[in-house]
Amino acid sequence: MGDPLLLERSREVTRFGTAELDALLTDMLDTMEALNGAGLAAPQIGVLLRVVIFGVKRNPRYPDAEEVPYTVLINPELRPLGEDMEEGWEGCLSVPGMRGLVPRYRRVSYRGSDQYGSPIERDVTRFHARVVQHECDHLDGILYPMRMPDLRNFGFTEVLFPGEAPIEE
Ligand code: NI
Residue 60: pLDDT above 70?
no
For 41-109, where are the alpha helices, taking DSSP H only?
none
Give the Cα separation of 168 and 12 in Å (integer). 25
Residue type, 86: E
Are the beta carbons of 36 and 165 closer than 8 angstroms?
Answer: yes
CA of 14 to the centre of ligand 1 (A): 24
164 pLDDT band, cuts 50/70/90, is confident
Catalytic sites, residue numbers? 135
Residue 99: pLDDT above 70?
yes
Residue 128: pLDDT above 70?
yes
CATH topology (fold) of 4-160 = Peptide Deformylase (3.90.45)
Q: What's the whole-model pTM score?
A: 0.94
CA of 168 to the centre of ligand 1 (A): 7
CA of 16 to the centre of ligand 1 (A): 24
What pLDDT does residue 36 have? 85
CA of 94 to the centre of ligand 1 (A): 6
